[in-house]
């Protein structure tokens, strides 16, 4: 699945009401099955960008084109459906549901996509991230690293075509970090999933053929300049 | 995972608030079910008891009082009928059977109502096609014979051969009659007020002190009852006055006070019929047709100072006017209770929405549609309402099961503990509707949740 961002703009508002431009990307492209590491300073807008790509945020203007479909032009229900079926998202803050066990969290992702929830597949995924012995633990009973791995398994549950990972290995020790990272990359490779992975870690970024720094192609300050003219 | 599963999870997540609010609902539904079943059963047994008597003839006045005192023995009689009139009914060619009853006293032990009557009372069915069963097949033979209901035997521990005294229920309440009655037979349980009644031979009843009237009062009443002339005419009235003068009227106890008390206090001789009274007369027409009874009723309306009523009709009317209204008021009050518990569920779900904004946003970010989220909240409300309702249904029947013996003891009616009122079933569609109303606003809040805002909080 290919991704193309064109003239993508997003501003928030400061508490005093002034616009706070975060994203201003003229052109950014990921090829089908490409694996890209995205680095950048904290607060630079990496998470915001992933939200825009997944359709959780709507851009102020511009296009998010995934496989020739402009996500920004779709209505909300279609965008929800598209996200459920095509995009896997590993949140920086995991976003597990506290009322549900590890296994149920993975199954939930499946049930919203309209597919039949496949229990065996969910268990396989949790096994792959090393959590077979934690299936019926609730998030509060899991370590932070374990929670992150549940989030990874959930993101992969619907066999997405585009995987957005927001620092997926930040809370895992370096040995496990490499295992998990390899697992994510292997799964993506095997199923030709396009991967955009945000990281702060030099070590992680080094493993990717293509590493992008957000500030190289995102120029929000230009928005402010044009606005003040 | 199904919506129900997801909704159930979040109910469990807030188990204390959920169970309290659902239990609240259960209590409301329990009361509703108990009231519906209770009134259903009471109405049924009230209508059935005494339904086999075609007519009850009594003095003019309140029909309800007449039936309540004659059949249910719950309200004491106010007026009486002349015994002469009973004889007249008995001899009426259209009448198949006329059974006199006289009420007024209660037993000293247990205060069970006394009914003076004749052996034929026990030959008639006590309910539709149901005949009395007795322990020993002894009718009344001696004047002071008594046949008692099953509940009386049980509560007082009486058996055949037991003796007892009566307390006068008339003017000087609390005065105990000296005469002792003997139990000669015990009725099998009927599930009617007969179980709580002590029947005594009418003959003996008249021989108790105070159960005959002073002659002048009796003559006065007869003249009122028969405005066109007392049977037997002036001649008979003169004879009565002579009877009284000869000492037949034994109401002046004073002069005997000093004498041999046990021997002379009462005169156990037969009274002239003119001095006797009955409370009412159960009448079976020769013609089983309701029309015959109806004609007879109308005839009485214009003639004597008596009325004939159809007990079933009277009870149905009473149920409608009196108990029906009480039931309606209770149903309205309990409906309010249920609505209040519904509001409790609403508040509980609505308050939880603030904590669940994130949960909802996550579900949305996983691809859940807005409608799906709305449906989850609605399902939660439905689960709480119907779950509470189901629990309430069980509790209501449980309450009725436990309460039935109490009703049985105080009314003498036999209650079907497993009684089910079809109206109960309408509770569930109503609860479903309530659940949808309750879930709507929180559901809409959930529906409107802005995923991006919540996730970036
Ligand atoms: N909903 C919002 N409203 C206002 N400002 C926001 C909102 N979301 C993000 N921001 C701001 O946008 C900027 C970029 O945030 P973002 O989370 O995208 O950064 P990031 O690059 O992911 O940082 P980090 O590496 O620390 O995760 C931040 O300064 C943040 O305060
Ligand atoms: Mg971030």
User: pLDDT (tens digit, 9 = 90+) per residue, B179-225?
Assistant: 899 999 999 988 788 888 999 999 888 888 666 667 777 788 888 88
Q: Which of B10, B359, B455 sits opposite A56 (nearest CB)?
A: B455
Whether residue B337 is found in the same domain as residue B385: yes
Residue B213 is predicted with a pLDDT of 67
- Sign of the Cα torsion B224, B227, B233, B235 reads positive
Residue of B1, B11, B355, B366 best to disrupt the A interface, most CBs of A under 10 A? B366
Whole-number Å distance between alpha carbons of B457 and B446: 17
Q: Cα–Cα distances in Å, from A139 out to A150, B188, B324? A: 9, 68, 57
Q: Which of A48, A54, A112 sits opposite B372 (nearest CB)?
A: A112
Whether residue B294 is found in the same domain as residue B145: yes
Evaluate if residue A160 carries a pLDDT over 60: yes
Locate the ligand 1 atom nearest the alpha carbon of residue A46 and give its number.
21
Whole-number Å distance between alpha carbons of A120 and A127: 10
Residue B257 is predicted with a pLDDT of 37
Residue B42 is predicted with a pLDDT of 77
Give the chain B residue nearest A160 (alpha carbons).
B366
Please list the residues that pair with B97 across neighbouring strands: B284
Share of chain B above pLDDT 90, in %: 28
Kindly report, residue by residue over A79-121, the tens digit of the pLDDT: 888 888 889 999 888 889 988 999 999 998 888 877 777 899 9
Q: Is residue A18 within a helix (H) or strand (E), and if so which, with residue range?
A: none
Q: Say how many Å lie between the first and final Cα of chain B, rounded.
A: 28
Residue A23 is predicted with a pLDDT of 94
Locate the ligand 1 atom nearest the alpha carbon of residue B452 and give its number.
1
Locate the ligand 1 atom nearest the alpha carbon of residue A48 and give its number.
18
Whether residue B131 is found in the same domain as residue B218: yes
Q: Is A147 on the interface with B (CB under 8 A)?
A: no
pLDDT band at A144 (very low <50, low <70, confident <90, very high): confident
pLDDT band at B438 (very low <50, low <70, confident <90, very high): very high
A153 contacts in B (CB within 8 Å)?
Answer: none
DSSP A96-149: --TTS-HHHHHHHHHHHTTSPP-HHHHHHHHHHTT-GGGTT--GGGS-HHHHHH
Whole-number Å distance between alpha carbons of B284 and B56: 9
Kindly report, residue by residue over B236-284, the tens digit of the pLDDT: 788 878 877 776 544 444 333 333 434 444 445 567 788 888 999 998 8
Residues B386-409, mean pLDDT to the nearest whole number: 89
Q: For the structural domain made of A1-75+215-223, what CATH number should be given?
A: 3.40.50.300
Stated pTM of the model:
0.71
Residue A46 is predicted with a pLDDT of 93
Q: Is A15 in the pocket of ligand 1 (CB under 6 A)?
A: no
Whether residue B290 is found in the same domain as residue B259: yes
Which of A155-159, B85-89, B124-128 comes out lowest in average pLDDT? B124-128
Is the Cβ pair A97, B359 closer than 8 Å? yes
Q: Which residue would you say has higher pLDDT here, A227 or B117? A: B117
Is the Cβ pair A108, B364 closer than 8 Å? no
| Nearest-CA distance B431 → chain A (Å) | 27
Residue A66 is predicted with a pLDDT of 92
Q: Is A217 in the pocket of ligand 1 (CB under 6 A)?
A: no
Closest CA to B102 of B270, B278, B273: B278
Burial label, A72 (beta-carbon count in 10 A; 0-12, 13-18, 19+): buried
Residue B212 is predicted with a pLDDT of 62
Kindly report, residue by residue over A16-67, the tens digit of the pLDDT: 888 899 999 999 999 999 999 999 999 899 999 999 999 888 899 999 999 8
Please identify, among B293, B309, B325, the residue that sits at the C-terminal boundary of a domain: B309
DSSP B308-322: EE-HHHHHHHHIIII
DSSP B156-211: HT--TT-EEEEE--SSSTTPEEEEEEEEEEEBPP-SSGGGG-EEEEHHHHHHSTTS
B-contacting residues of A 155-194, CB under 8 Å? 158
What is the DSSP code (8-state) at residue B10?
H
Residue B377 is predicted with a pLDDT of 94
Is the separation of the CB atoms in A204 and A177 below 8 Å? yes
Whether residue B76 is found in the same domain as residue B33: no
| Nearest-CA distance A174 → chain B (Å) | 28
Kindly report, residue by residue over B309-322, the tens digit of the pLDDT: 888 888 788 777 77
Closest CA to B15 of B23, B4, B3, B25: B23
Residues B400-425, mean pLDDT to the nearest whole number: 79
Whether residue B216 is found in the same domain as residue B139: yes
Locate the ligand 1 atom nearest the alpha carbon of residue A44 and give its number.
21
Closest CA to A6 of A61, A48, A56, A43: A61
Evaluate if residue B382 carries a pLDDT over 70: yes
Whether residue B440 is found in the same domain as residue B320: yes
Q: Which residue would you say has higher pLDDT here, A38 or B366? A: A38
Evaluate if residue A141 carries a pLDDT over 90: yes
State in Å: Cα B31 to ligand 1 middle: 55
In the structure encoding, which two tokens stand for residue A73, read together?
């032009």
Q: Which residues contact B229 (CB under 8 A, 6 or more apart)?
A: none
Is the Cβ pair B366, A112 closer than 8 Å? yes
What is the DSSP code (8-state) at residue B367?
T
Evaluate if residue B172 carries a pLDDT over 70: no
Q: Is A65 on the interface with B (CB under 8 A)?
A: no
Which of A134-143, A182-191, B193-202, B260-269 comes out lowest in average pLDDT? B260-269
Q: b or e along A137-170 (b: 16 or more beta carbons within 10 Å of the residue's beta carbon)?
A: bbbeebeebbbbbbbbbbbbbbbbbbbbbbbbbb
Q: Is A54 on the interface with B (CB under 8 A)?
A: yes
pLDDT band at B47 (very low <50, low <70, confident <90, very high): low
Residue B263 is predicted with a pLDDT of 40
In the structure encoding, which two tokens stand for residue B182, read together?
């003997």
Residues B163-186, mean pLDDT to the nearest whole number: 80
In the structure encoding, which two tokens stand for residue B72, read together?
């249910």
Q: Is the ipTM of this complex over 0.85?
A: yes
Whether residue B345 is found in the same domain as residue B378: yes
Whole-number Å distance between alpha carbons of A199 and A202: 8
Whole-number Å distance between alpha carbons of B91 and B225: 18
pLDDT band at A177 (very low <50, low <70, confident <90, very high): confident
Number of Cα atoms under 13 Å in the Cβ half of residue B361: 22
Residues B343-370, mean pLDDT to the nearest whole number: 89
Residue B258 is predicted with a pLDDT of 38
Residue B260 is predicted with a pLDDT of 40
Please identify, among B250, B283, B309, the residue that sits at the C-terminal boundary of a domain: B309
Which of A4-18, B17-31, B285-299 comes out lowest in average pLDDT? B285-299
Whole-number Å distance between alpha carbons of B8 and A220: 45
The residue ranges of every structural domain in chain A are 1-75+215-223
Locate the ligand 1 atom nearest the alpha carbon of residue A12 and give its number.
4
Question: Could you tell which of A43, A165, A223 is best to mutate to test the pocket of ligand 1, judged by most ligand atoms within 8 Å of the CB?
Answer: A43
Residue A173 is predicted with a pLDDT of 80
Residue B211 is predicted with a pLDDT of 63
Q: Is A57 on the interface with B (CB under 8 A)?
A: yes
What is the DSSP code (8-state) at residue A218?
B
Other C-beta atoms within 10 Å of B409: how many?
12
β-strand pairing of B145-148 with B176-186: parallel
Whether residue B276 is found in the same domain as residue B387: no
Please identify, among B287, B309, B331, the residue that sits at the C-terminal boundary of a domain: B309
Other C-beta atoms within 10 Å of B202: how many?
24
Residues B399-426, mean pLDDT to the nearest whole number: 80
The number of distinct structural domains making up chain B is 2
Domain residues for the domain of B234 are 55-309
Whether residue B292 is found in the same domain as residue B330: no
| Nearest-CA distance B351 → chain A (Å) | 17
| Nearest-CA distance A57 → chain B (Å) | 5
Q: Which residue would you say has higher pLDDT here, B409 or B398? A: B398
Whether residue B214 is found in the same domain as residue B338: no
Q: Is A20 on the interface with B (CB under 8 A)?
A: no
Is the Cβ pair B365, A113 closer than 8 Å? no
SS (H, E, C) B243-297: HHHHHHCCCCHHHHCCCCHHHHCCCCCCCCHHHCEECEEEEEECCCCHHHHHHHH
Residue A98 backbone class (left: φ over 0; alpha: ψ -120 to 50; beta: rest): alpha
Is the Cβ pair B369, A47 closer than 8 Å? no
Question: Could you tell which of A8, A22, A168 is best to mutate to test the pocket of ligand 1, judged by most ligand atoms within 8 Å of the CB?
Answer: A22
pLDDT band at B173 (very low <50, low <70, confident <90, very high): low
Residue B171 is predicted with a pLDDT of 46
Number of Cα atoms under 13 Å in the Cβ half of residue B95: 20
């Amino acid at each position: 699945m290919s991704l193309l961002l064109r003239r993508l703009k997003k501003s928030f508002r400061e508490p005093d009401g002034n616009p706070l431009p975060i994203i201003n990307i003229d052109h950014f492209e990921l090829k089908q099955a490409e694996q890209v590491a995205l680095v950048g300073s904290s607060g630079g807008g990496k998470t915001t960008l992933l939200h825009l790509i997944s359709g959780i945020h709507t851009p102020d203007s511009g296009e998010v084109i995934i496989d020739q479909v402009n996500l920004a032009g779709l209505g909300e229900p279609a965008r929800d459906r598209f996200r459920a079926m095509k995009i896997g998202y590993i949140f920086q803050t995991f976003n597990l549901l506290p009322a549900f066990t590890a296994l149920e969290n993975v199954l939930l992702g499946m049930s919203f996509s309209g597919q039949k929830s496949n229990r065996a597949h969910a268990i396989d995924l949790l096994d792959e991230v090393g959590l077979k012995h934690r299936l019926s633990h609730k998030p509060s009973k899991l370590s932070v690293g374990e929670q992150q791995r549940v989030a990874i398994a959930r993101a992969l549950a619907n066999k997405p075509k585009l995987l957005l990972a927001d620092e997926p290995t930040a809370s895992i020790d370096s040995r496990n970090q490499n295992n998990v990272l390899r697992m994510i990359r292997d799964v993506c490779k095997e199923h030709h999933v396009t991967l955009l992975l945000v990281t702060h870690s030099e070590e992680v970024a080094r493993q990717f053929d293509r590493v992008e720094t957000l500030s190289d192609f995102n120029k929000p300050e230009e928005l402010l300049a044009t606005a003040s003219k | 995972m199904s919506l129900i599963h997801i909704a159930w999870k979040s109910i469990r997540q807030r188990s204390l608030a959920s169970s309290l609010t659902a239990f609240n609902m259960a209590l409301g539904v329990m009361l509703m079910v108990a009231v519906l079943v209770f009134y259903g059963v009471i109405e049924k047994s009230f209508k059935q008891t005494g339904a086999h008597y075609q007519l009850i003839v009594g003095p003019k006045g309140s029909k309800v009082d007449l039936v309540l005192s004659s059949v249910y023995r719950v309200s004491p009689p106010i007026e009486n009928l002349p015994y002469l009139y009973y004889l007249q009914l008995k001899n009426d060619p259209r009448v198949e059977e006329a059974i006199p009853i006289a009420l007024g006293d209660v037993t000293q032990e247990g205060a069970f109502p006394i009914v003076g009557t004749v052996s034929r009372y026990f030959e008639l069915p006590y309910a539709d096609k149901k005949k009395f069963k007795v322990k020993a097949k002894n009718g009344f033979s001696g004047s002071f014979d008594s046949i008692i209901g099953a509940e009386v035997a049980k509560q007082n521990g009486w058996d055949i051969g037991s003796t007892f005294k009566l307390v006068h229920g008339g003017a000087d309440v609390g005065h105990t009659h000296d005469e002792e009655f003997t139990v000669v037979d015990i009725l099998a349980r009927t599930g009617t007020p007969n179980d709580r009644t002590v029947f005594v031979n009418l003959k003996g009843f008249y021989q108790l002190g105070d159960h005959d009237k002073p002659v002048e009062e009796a003559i006065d009443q007869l003249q009122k009852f028969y405005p066109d002339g007392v049977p037997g005419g002036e001649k008979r009235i003169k004879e009565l006055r002579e009877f009284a003068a000869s000492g037949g009227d034994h109401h002046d106890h004073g002069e005997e006070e000093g004498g041999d008390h046990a021997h002379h206090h009462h005169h156990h001789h037969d009274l002239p019929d003119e001095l006797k009274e009955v409370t009412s007369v159960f009448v079976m027409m020769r013609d089983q047709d309701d029309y015959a009874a109806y004609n007879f009723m109308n005839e009485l309306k214009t003639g004597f100072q008596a009325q004939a009523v159809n007990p079933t009709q009277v009870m149905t009317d009473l149920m409608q006017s009196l108990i029906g209204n009480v039931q309606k008021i209770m149903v309205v009050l309990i409906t309010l209770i249920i609505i209040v518990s519904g509001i409790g569920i609403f508040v509980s779900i609505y308050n939880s929405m603030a904590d669940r904004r994130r949960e909802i946003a996550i579900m949305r970010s996983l691809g859940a549609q807005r409608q799906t989220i709305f449906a989850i909240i609605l399902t939660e409300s439905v689960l709480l309402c119907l779950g509470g309702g189901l629990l309430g249904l069980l509790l209501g029947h449980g309450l009725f099961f436990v309460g039935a013996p109490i009703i049985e003891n105080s009314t003498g009616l036999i209650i079907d503990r497993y009684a089910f009122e079809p109206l109960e079933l309408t509770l569930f569609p109503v609860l479903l509707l309530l659940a949808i109303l309750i879930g709507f606003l929180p559901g809409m809040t959930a529906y409107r949740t802005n995923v991006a805002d919540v996730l970036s909080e």
